[in-house]
Structure 1
Amino acid sequence: MRRAKKLLVCLFLIIICFLSILGYARFIEPDLLTVNSLDVETKKSIKPFKAVFFTDTHFGKYYDENHADKLVSKINQLDADIVVFGGDLLDNYARDREYMDLESLKNALKGIKAKAGKYAVWGNHDYGGGASRIYEDFMASCGFKILKNESMILADYGIELVGYDDYLMGAPASSLYKKDTSLYQLIVAHEPAVSQLIENEGENFLLCGHTHGGQVRIPFLTTKLLPPGSGKFVKGLYTAQEIGTSVSLQMYTSSGIGMTRYPFRFLNVPEIVEVNFKTSQ
């Protein structure tokens, strides 16, 4: 009898623990928002500048547009030179458009401030679910310039900003993977797998997302659940050696903001990335 009682107590505690983790992953962690900062040095002569990067908002069923004001406020506190969005604005436009307030979302994103402009690239969800019909116009109305296989020189900072089309559903231009320039290149792409295709001369830094950092972090299982296009990269800063390239390249893969497939985040707090670039001494 005593043993059976102990087993029941243990079972009860396990259930309570499981429900607590489930509640945290559903209602608490997705509403958190952190800023991860890093300093990047280059041998190139550039004017110091700050890039603020956010990606994978997946506004919709699991992460509604009411979160946008908090996101915008957090970004503006960082006083960015440029703000870059890495794709996947909406989770599933066809499914969610009837009850989403896109006008409210637009007004919020319009409020993002950046001294030298706001830029964005396409993600796979921006093509899927019918979002391709609205994404470019929507982002333009929010003040973002879409870089779709485009590069532009930010002369005030002495850098070249390069944006690739989506690796999975777009048509990335292979010519941009092998670009000869004397300028420091800040590259933006949705999927981190493109890092192993880059053959650019000079120094390069790649900002990407797509993986959500696994969204739910489970030892030994997270990497098996990463979406196509992730490669072996989960989240965080990767060196050229870790990428497996001889090119002068660093990459930061962001765990993103929102959720897809299931409404949970666990051990994977939504993040904004602040990158401070400067010439090494």
Structure 2
Amino acid sequence: MFRWICRMFLTLFLLCLACVGLLAYAYWVEPNMLVVRSVEVESDQVTQPCKIVFFTDTHFGQYYDISHARKITDQINALEPDIVVFGGDLFDNYARDRETLDLSSLSAAFAEIEAKAGKFAVWGNHDYGGGAARVYEDMMEASGFEVLDDESRLLSDYGIRVIGYDDLLMGQTDDSLYMLKSQAFNVIVAHEPVIAQKIESSSQNLVLTGHTHGGQVTVPVLTDRLLPAGSGEFRKGFYDAQEIGTDVDLQMYTSSGIGMTRYPFRFLNAPEIVEINVHAA
């Protein structure tokens, strides 16, 4: 009996130790990682190879402070991108964190991000609330990003049109704007993944989205059920037209983003920057 009790307590101790270790990893280790995911895309509409670097959902604030901005900038510049795109949710909770956010330092760090053909951004739902709407666009423009609010820019040297949509949850995009007449290769940037199912286009399209954080903490079955509104059935990674459920020539990458919201943990969803290499087919 004594031996059985000792084994039981040892098992409980090891389980507790493992739980503490996992919590420590999810709190201190994974949130401070920054990995690069590489995606290869082919199109017969691009006129020359193009490297797009996509990052999203930094959620600067209480759980992810601005000291990380320099690391993001250095990582992006090391990739030598042609185009840099930000997918929204710069801030986490601006009303709560505004006193501690050093916007001038953030702007200075992101201003050093280099891109040969341009830097673009869209609105996320967290960029509207708590007074963030008054500073987000100015902040991004001061950093050299052009905020595309239901707008597009043709990059004729590459045969690429960059299209940016307003946030689905907090913005005001007329459904007619999802019907695209562009005959270039469309790089569509939107915060929420479900926008991919709204696109109508006769051209080739690549949609870049964030918002989901990949679930932020991966728990089998439960994570998919707790994704935020606007995620649909898309958690993270690369999706083709069939997986999206569309007849349009369209692919999508949904990034798990960089920062954190609601709780200061990441588990099996390391912060990521996405490198998209677009090749002429």
**Alignment TM class, shorter chain as reference:** over 0.9
Match of 1:220 in 2: 221
| 1:111-134, Cα deviation, whole Å (9 max, x unpaired) | 101011110000000011210010
| 1:259-278, Cα deviation, whole Å (9 max, x unpaired) | 00000000111000000112
| 1:218-243, Cα deviation, whole Å (9 max, x unpaired) | 11111011000000000000000000
Q: Distance in 1 between matches of 2:157 and 2:46?
A: 12
Q: Is residue 210 of structure 1 aligned with residue 201 of structure 2? A: no
C-alpha displacement of 1:45: 4.1
Match of 1:173 in 2: 174
Q: Distance in 2 between matches of 1:187 and 1:21?
A: 37
Match of 2:165 in 1: 164
Q: Distance in 2 between matches of 1:88 and 1:14?
A: 37
Match of 2:269 in 1: 268
Contact 1:178 1:201 (C-alpha < 8 Å) held by counterparts: no
Match of 1:40 in 2: 41
C-alpha displacement of 1:100: 1.8
- Give me the CA root mean square deviation: 0.8
C-alpha displacement of 1:44: 1.6
| 1:189-227, Cα deviation, whole Å (9 max, x unpaired) | 000011111111211000000000000011111101100
Match of 1:98 in 2: 99
Local SS of the residue matching 1:260: coil
Match of 1:137 in 2: 138
C-alpha displacement of 1:43: 2.2
Q: Distance in 1 between matches of 2:121 and 2:177?
A: 16
Contact 2:240 2:251 (C-alpha < 8 Å) held by counterparts: yes
Contact 2:46 2:158 (C-alpha < 8 Å) held by counterparts: no
Match of 2:124 in 1: 123
Local SS of the residue matching 1:94: helix
Match of 2:70 in 1: 69
| 1:162-211, Cα deviation, whole Å (9 max, x unpaired) | 00000000012323211122211110000001111111121100000000
Q: Distance in 1 between matches of 2:102 and 2:181?
A: 44
- Specify whether residues 197 and 16 from structure 1 end up closer, same or farther in structure 2 by C-alpha distance, changes over 3 A only: same
In structure 2, list runs of 5 or more residues that go unmatched: none
Contact 1:164 1:173 (C-alpha < 8 Å) held by counterparts: no
Q: Distance in 1 between matches of 2:118 and 2:248?
A: 28
Q: Distance in 1 between matches of 2:173 and 2:79?
A: 31
Local SS of the residue matching 2:128: helix
Q: Distance in 1 between matches of 2:3 and 2:131?
A: 60
Q: Distance in 1 between matches of 2:260 and 2:92?
A: 8
Q: Is residue 113 of structure 1 aligned with residue 114 of structure 2? A: yes
TM value normalised by structure 2: 0.98
Contact 1:82 1:115 (C-alpha < 8 Å) held by counterparts: yes
Match of 1:57 in 2: 58
Q: Distance in 1 between matches of 2:109 and 2:12?
A: 46
Q: Distance in 2 between matches of 1:52 and 1:163?
A: 15
Q: Distance in 2 between matches of 1:204 and 1:45?
A: 11
Match of 1:183 in 2: 184
Residues paired across the two proteins, number? 280
- Report the residue type matching 2:207 in the other structure: L
Match of 2:193 in 1: 192
Contact 2:46 2:160 (C-alpha < 8 Å) held by counterparts: no
C-alpha displacement of 1:39: 1.0
Contact 1:165 1:173 (C-alpha < 8 Å) held by counterparts: no
Contact 2:212 2:256 (C-alpha < 8 Å) held by counterparts: yes
In structure 1, list runs of 5 or more residues that go unmatched: none
- Report the residue type matching 1:146 in the other structure: V
Local SS of the residue matching 1:105: helix
Contact 2:56 2:89 (C-alpha < 8 Å) held by counterparts: yes
| 1:100-149, Cα deviation, whole Å (9 max, x unpaired) | 22211111111101011110000000011210010001101011000000
